[in-house]
Structure 1
Amino acid sequence: MKTHAGRWLVALCVLMFCAAAAVLASGWQTGLSNQVNSQILWQLQLPLTITAVITGAALSVSGASLQVVLRNPLADPGIIGISSGASLVAAFVLILAPQALVDHLPYTLPVACFTGALFSTWLIYRLSVRLRGINTAVILAGIAITTLTSAIMGWLYLFADAQSMRNLTFWIMGSLHQADAWVLLVSAPIIVLSLLIIGRNATALNVLYTGDLTAKSAGVDPDRLKLTIMIACALAVGAAVAIAGSIAFLGLLVPHYLRLVIGHNNRYLLPASAVTGATILLLVALISEWVPFAALPVSMVTATIGGPLLLFAMVKGQLK
């Protein structure tokens, strides 16, 4: 099993490296001066690549760990409301905040997204404690939170001017082209730190498969572990939403299909989820670079691919 999972990890790393190289090379245009090509690389292609890598890793690892903590294969930052909570607070900042905050978006947007993600995570955590053993109810509560935030964001459209409406559409559809060096400088360290915290608890998450009582007998505090993982997921997802908006299905389907291939051991599943999620968004970025007339909304692409895959998994009885 270790050899099998290790081979998959190596293959995924090679694929991610090739995809990243292709994205960086896609902006290199012959016939332009070296200075122009250098600006394209450092100001456009490199931020795009970093955004795709850290966003894909954050969403996929968060989904994989939440599915263990909530004991439900449908747990996903988007479905249970973490992403929508982050997007809602960001929408308030974009539309209703005073100009002083809008002028400092590289700093205010990550803080706004963290706040929304943490609040949504707190609600989900309290519900999971109150509805212990009724995991379907937790997922339904998350769907209710997502629906409510979508409705509020719809009402915000009534107060938005043309520019604010375009910015708000970005949060709904997702984009890899919006983040610049300043936003990445604030958000990227938060994502990396959160993923390291989750990865450090991979063995404890394996123990959690056996139930809370068995985990306690093995020296793991399940309540503390769940709280730690959910806070780390909230920070990672909040930072991801701050730089790329809301992206659907990635955190749900990547860990699900990886479990079918390499098993449930989180020591391998979490890094494989990070590499796979990063690779998928790199491929989406590459496809977007090839489309000459528009930058494709990321959530539209992931939903187009993820929707049929989710239905296929349900028909096959894989989501139980």
Structure 2
Amino acid sequence: MKPHWWLRCVLLFLLMVVASTIVLHDWHQYTEPALHWHILINLQLPLVINAVLVGATLAISGGTLQVALRNPLADPGIIGITSGASLCAAGLLLLPFTLPLPMQYMLPIGCFTGALLSTWLIFKISKRLRNAASAVILAGIAISTLAGAIIGWMYLMAEASAMRNLTFWIMGSLHQADWVLLSVSGPIMALSIGFQLYYARQMNLLYAGELATAAAGVSPQLLINRCLFITAIGVGAAVSVSGSIAFIGLLVPHLMRFIVGHDNQKLLPVTALTGALVLLLVVAISDMAAVISLPVSMVTATIGGPMLLAVLYRGRWRV
């Protein structure tokens, strides 16, 4: 007999506690009490909270997009949401102009704006192509390619120190967040996760097609638009505190469908917890390496690539 899905949620939560303990294990090794609490409160707790929120947001957003767009390739990175947020962040980090607000506030605002603009552009292009399933992916690839080219041109104009900061940020880093940045981006990510869980039951109707969804009293286009909007603001917030992180939004939902099935009321909570656990484990691996701060995207791609090939080989690649 298979365990209930909520038991899996409890197990994932316990594993998250264990991973968090690994990350926080060395704060007590310092002799001065003031230094104890400074490291715990100002460095390691923000790191753990950032990993949990970013991992959960990217994973659940990938699951929502795959259902809403009826495409197993839908992922914040592939369809261009992450690229739009990264482009605006690169502009803030590289271009030499005076900002009206401190960077802690401007970076989330810029990432929100980029994510929403890229989502709007993808939506408009897909509408002109009659909402074809492949239109979103093609539009996303085009936006990602264009954003990458623009960022490359920005590199040519940037100073060496700014280029180094942007390089680490694009490769993904969970160590950049502090309480100020999390106070802006954290509630946005939490609200995005909450709204996606709220719409999980309605998203189940999309499996039967738009006509069946409308017959059940739910406007399919309005539901899809809401899903795109709430994922865009969540991903924008995640990118603002972690940079670009690969594979979480694409791989985790597919693995969880293999385990818990396609019911979004069960799938999305488990997916969010798994995404949070994955990033906590990445942080723990980087902490145990104790040599350098490993780029998060490099670790997730190294782990996720073989797992993605395994999912494809087993024929489980569907929504």
Query: 1:150 Cα shift?
Result: 1.0
8 Å contact from structure 2 (residues 126, 139) kept in 1: no
Residue aligning to 1:17? 17
Residue aligning to 1:123? 121
Query: 1:253 Cα shift?
Result: 0.5
Residue aligning to 2:49? 50
Q: TM-score with structure 1 length normalisation? A: 0.95
8 Å contact from structure 1 (residues 86, 241) kept in 2: yes
Structure 1 segments unaligned to the other structure (5+ residues): none
Give the direction of change, closer, same or farther, for the CA distance of 1:28–1:140 in structure 2 (3 Å limit): farther
8 Å contact from structure 1 (residues 87, 171) kept in 2: no
8 Å contact from structure 2 (residues 258, 316) kept in 1: no
Structure 2 segments unaligned to the other structure (5+ residues): none
Q: Distance in 2 between matches of 1:232 and 1:197?
A: 7
Residues 1-320 of structure 1: pairs in structure 2 closer than 5 A: 4-29=4-29, 31-101=30-100, 104-132=102-130, 134-320=132-318
Instruction: Select between 285-294 and 252-261 the one with higher mean Cα deviation.
Output: 285-294
Q: Distance in 2 between matches of 1:120 and 1:2?
A: 41
Query: 1:21 Cα shift?
Result: 2.2
Alignment size in residue pairs: 318
Query: 1:194 Cα shift?
Result: 1.2
Q: Distance in 1 between matches of 2:194 and 2:272?
A: 11
- CA RMSD of superposed structures (Å): 1.6
Structure 2 SS opposite 1:256:
helix
8 Å contact from structure 2 (residues 64, 227) kept in 1: yes
Give the direction of change, closer, same or farther, for the CA distance of 1:26–1:282 in structure 2 (3 Å limit): farther
Opposite residue 64 of structure 2, the aligned amino acid is S
8 Å contact from structure 1 (residues 28, 40) kept in 2: no
Opposite residue 28 of structure 1, the aligned amino acid is H
After the TM superposition, which segments of 4 or more aligned residues of structure 1 sit over 6 Å from their partners?
none
Q: Distance in 1 between matches of 2:57 and 2:308?
A: 20
Structure 2 SS opposite 1:178:
coil
8 Å contact from structure 1 (residues 84, 149) kept in 2: yes
8 Å contact from structure 1 (residues 52, 176) kept in 2: yes
Identity of aligned residues (%): 54
Q: TM-score with structure 2 length normalisation? A: 0.96
8 Å contact from structure 1 (residues 57, 275) kept in 2: yes
Structure 2 SS opposite 1:209:
helix
Q: Distance in 2 between matches of 1:56 and 1:128?
A: 28
Q: Distance in 2 between matches of 1:38 and 1:180?
A: 15
Q: Distance in 1 between matches of 2:301 and 2:146?
A: 20
Give a deviation string over 1:73-113, Cα, whole Å, max 9, x none: 11100111101110001101111152334x71000000000
